[in-house]
């Protein structure tokens, strides 16, 4: 019977679960506290709005 490397199996499991969580929860799952948007979309829109605000402020000075 082949020997199973438990540590490598656990590390692979952690990587797969982490990828699944990050891929689903941050990219697809909507969050009601973020206006029913996925976190990645919310962050992009927020960053775009901050950039626009920053540009308007610098134009006034």
d(CA 59, CA 51): 12
Q: What confidence score (pLDDT) does residue 27 get?
A: 85
> Is 21's pLDDT higher than 90?
no
Residue recorded with tokens 């019977």: 1
Please compute the mean of the pLDDT values over residues 18-46 and round it to a whole number. 88
Mean pLDDT score, 35-56:
83
Average pLDDT over residues 16-42: 87
Q: What is the pTM of this model?
A: 0.54
Is the pLDDT at 31 greater than 90, yes or no? no
* Contact residues for 53 (Cβ-Cβ < 8 A; gap 6+): none
Q: 37, 15, 35, 10: which is closest to 25 by C-alpha?
A: 37
d(CA 58, CA 48): 15
pLDDT class of 42 with cuts at 50, 70, 90: very high
Q: Residue 4 corresponds to which tokens in the numbers above?
A: 């199973």
């Amino acid at each position: 019977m082949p020997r199973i490397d438990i540590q490598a199996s656990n590390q692979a499991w952690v990587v797969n679960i982490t990828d699944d969580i990050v891929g689903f929860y941050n990219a697809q799952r909507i969050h009601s506290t973020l206006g029913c948007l996925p976190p990645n979309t919310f962050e992009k829109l927020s960053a775009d709005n901050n950039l626009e605000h920053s540009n308007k402020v610098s134009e006034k000075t």
